[in-house]
Structure 1
Amino acid sequence: GDETTQFLNNIFVKSMGLTVPEPDNFYCPAFMLSFSPVDLVELRLIGASVEDDNWEDIFDHGFMACQVSFKPVIKGRRGNYRVYAWLDNRNHLKNHYQGIASESYNDPLAHDEQRGWGVSIDQEFSDNITAFARYSQTDDDLSLWNGSEWEMIPFDRLWTAGMELKGLPWKRSDDAIGIGYGRILLTDDFKRANTDPDDEEYAELYYRYTLCERLALTLDYQWIANAGGNAHADDISILGTRAQIDF
């Protein structure tokens, strides 16, 4: 997804910050290698130094990810089919050590890595319709260091699906309507540790109105249920607008 022209909610844009962990600092040293043996296939390898001291000890507790992308053209319609996996070498603590381990990132019990994988698909079905789906999952029994204490990772899986319809049927070919729905699934450990937990649900609807070649306005609506994994949390509705200016 592209948050500048399509969905605004992060769950419909990427898995980073959800099932895929983010760096301790937004800016960090990293590299990416890309190789396309044929037009149909692309391979990527990504590495990053993701700890707080990432500019000092670049090669300690790094993050690695690899992705294989297939880009078929089926009956003239383009698609992208991606499979990826990742490994976070930062210290993680097994949940059953909560209450035993010290409040220290370097506790000897905190020696586990976090792993995950996912798939991402988008496919054109006509001149008007493009659909997408995404699934990813990670370990379900780990806690991460939040800077002051060990915090249980609340979810281990997510999935999203949706589509974008271009405005050709109503003679607005540069306009588009998008709709998406997704869920973030809580871990069993988090459910046992909390009262009345429930999976988070997300939905988003937008209309992008193109005023001219370089300016588009979007009206966007988002709905969130069970925020924070709490079944008693009030539903959240967000209405927003976005202006995209291209130079």
Structure 2
Amino acid sequence: MVLEMRLKVGNMKLIFQNEQGGKEMKKGVLALILLGVVMLWSLQPAVAKDIDDEVAELKARIEQLEKKVAEREVHARAVMEDRKALSKIKEAYERLTLGASLTSTFQVTANRDGKDPNDGALSGYVEIGASIGSLGRLYANFEGARGEGVPRKLDVSERLGINLPCLTGVNEDVDPRGDNQWYDLIEAYWEPSFYNGRLIFNIGKLDPTMWVDGNAVMNDETTQFLSNIFVNQIAMGFQEGIRVYAPGIRVGMRPTDWLEINLEWFKAAGDVFEDLFDHPFGIWEFNLKPNLGGLEGNYRFYGWYDGQEHAKWSQYNPTTGTVSGDAKSSNVGFGLSWDQMISRNITLAARFGMQNNGIAGRVASGALDTAFFPYSWSIGGQITGAGWGRENDVLGLAYGQAVTGNDFRNYLRSQGVINPAPYEGHFEAYYSFALSEHLAISPDIQVISNLGGDDDAPTVTIFGLRSQLEF
């Protein structure tokens, strides 16, 4: 019996034959296994080299992937940081409120004894507000002006040789201090609020008329009437017909939607930060805010106390024009300001003010530096241009008087006025053309009777043109 085994390894054929049976067959198998082991052992270096190469390549690829992942992580972090920075910038920007305005006026007078000045003035402001979260809000207002304007020339000095200015004023927008050029930080305050705005404080340098004696028709010399009497009450010793900015505090309360209460305390001397509690000026106001069939209104009632030192009329000698004794008296007053819409396009308004009839004014070098008249009143109205297809235009009309009183007329006589008048009357009309969302042009006319409280003074007409650029 012949046993044969064939084995093919690669290109090599192995044939085993055995005629002796099983023992020899076993030897052949063992030899075959031994041969296979030897062959595998001889192939190990090549296989190991291939595996090492593959491992090295795989390791390099992993390192490249890790590098790319790291680069992408760095880029992602940079993107996130940029987004956070942009978010903070956006948040800060959203907390800011910015505003700016530029107002120019040109006025020319007529019927002034043959001498008719024409003058211009320029004013502007930049305001910045910033929300500080739960702590409230910060606000600052920078304002400046150039030009004295017509008002300082509106007196009767040419005819009488004396200086009695227009009592009602013709341009509230010019510098109240009479400077030809000025700029100032007029307001700077902190405004915390509580109970969803029902309780508000303002602390810092404030405008006393910002929250008191307001009016929807007669309150803004840059967009409404120019004359002082149609901007705020002028029978108020603290103002003397002009705005004064002073350090102080205001408390605003809104217990209901139809009632607003304002309490204010200021340093009466104006922009003086020394001895803040000397000579205070206090104001209280109640504002009833009815809504009659969707037509809004404001009915303001207010009183004030001026702690500055004043002279009484009983101390004034009209013959010599001097004041005897110490000027130690305080001053008090009362006022109301009313505006009411009577239709969607028409709003009516009125204002009245009075002060202590026995107070003459403040004293400088033994003489009256500023003389007070006891009363002032004004009425007016505005009509929007919606009825003639110009809904952003406004027509305004107003008339008012500064009432002199007996003591003030005696003062005028001491200053050389032969025939003092019981009042100075003032009429004003303007039309605001809205040329764009930010620009308006307003022709203006004013007519003043009994200029300076002089019954013999000619009636003066003032033609004006105002431009208002606002952002």
- TM-score (structure 2 length as normaliser): 0.49
What is the alpha-carbon distance in structure 1 between the residues aligned to residue 366 and residue 344 of structure 2?
51
> Are residues 1:217 and 2:434 paired?
no
Q: Taking structure 1 as reference, are residues 52 and 202 closer, same or farther at Cα in structure 2, changes over 3 Å only?
A: closer
What is the alpha-carbon distance in structure 1 between the residues aligned to residue 360 and residue 313 of structure 2?
6
Q: Taking structure 1 as reference, are residues 108 and 230 closer, same or farther at Cα in structure 2, changes over 3 Å only?
A: closer
> Are residues 1:233 and 2:457 paired?
yes
> Are residues 1:141 and 2:365 paired?
no
* Aligned partner of 2:250 among 32, 35, 42: 32
Is the 1:123–1:132 contact (alpha carbons within 8 Å) kept by the matching residues of 2? Answer: yes
2:342 corresponds in structure 1 to: 125
Larger relative strand fraction:
1
Q: Taking structure 1 as reference, are residues 203 and 3 closer, same or farther at Cα in structure 2, changes over 3 Å only?
A: same
Larger relative helix fraction:
2
AA aligned opposite 2:269: E
Give the 3-state SS of the residue equivalent to 2:229 in structure 1: helix
Give the 3-state SS of the residue equivalent to 2:314 in structure 1: helix
Unmatched tracts of structure 1, length 5 or more = none
What is the alpha-carbon distance in structure 1 between the residues aligned to residue 456 and residue 297 of structure 2?
40
Deviates more, 1:124-133 or 1:190-199: 190-199
2:410 corresponds in structure 1 to: 192
What is the alpha-carbon distance in structure 1 between the residues aligned to residue 466 and residue 239 of structure 2?
28
1:20 corresponds in structure 2 to: 236
Is the 2:238–2:306 contact (alpha carbons within 8 Å) kept by the matching residues of 1? Answer: no
Is the 1:23–1:51 contact (alpha carbons within 8 Å) kept by the matching residues of 2? Answer: no
What is the alpha-carbon distance in structure 2 between the residues aligned to residue 53 and residue 179 of structure 1?
34
AA aligned opposite 1:161: I
* Aligned partner of 1:54 among 255, 258, 272: 272
Is the 1:85–1:116 contact (alpha carbons within 8 Å) kept by the matching residues of 2? Answer: yes
Unmatched tracts of structure 2, length 5 or more = 1-218
> Are residues 1:90 and 2:308 paired?
yes
Give the 3-state SS of the residue equivalent to 1:29 in structure 2: strand
Structure number, greater radius of gyration: 2
Give identity over the alignment, percent: 34
Report the alpha carbon displacement of residue 54 of structure 1 after superposing the two structures with TM: 3.4
AA aligned opposite 2:355: T
CA RMSD of aligned residues (A): 2.2
Give a deviation string over 1:207-234, Cα, whole Å, max 9, x none.
1101111111111111111111111112
Is the 1:143–1:150 contact (alpha carbons within 8 Å) kept by the matching residues of 2? Answer: no
AA aligned opposite 1:172: R
* Aligned partner of 1:204 among 428, 433, 441: 428
Is the 1:19–1:156 contact (alpha carbons within 8 Å) kept by the matching residues of 2? Answer: yes
Report the alpha carbon displacement of residue 154 of structure 1 after superposing the two structures with TM: 4.2
AA aligned opposite 1:10: N
Report the alpha carbon displacement of residue 86 of structure 1 after superposing the two structures with TM: 0.2
What is the alpha-carbon distance in structure 2 between the residues aligned to residue 23 and residue 51 of structure 1?
10
- Residues matched between the structures, number: 241
> Are residues 1:44 and 2:44 paired?
no
What is the alpha-carbon distance in structure 2 between the residues aligned to residue 114 and residue 160 of structure 1?
22
Report the alpha carbon displacement of residue 51 of structure 1 after superposing the two structures with TM: 2.5
Give the 3-state SS of the residue equivalent to 1:189 in structure 2: helix
Give a deviation string over 1:186-243, Cα, whole Å, max 9, x none.
1211223423111100000001101111111111111111111111112221111111
2:379 corresponds in structure 1 to: 161
1:74 corresponds in structure 2 to: 292
What is the alpha-carbon distance in structure 1 between the residues aligned to residue 307 and residue 299 of structure 2?
27
AA aligned opposite 2:425: E
What is the alpha-carbon distance in structure 1 between the residues aligned to residue 429 and residue 271 of structure 2?
40
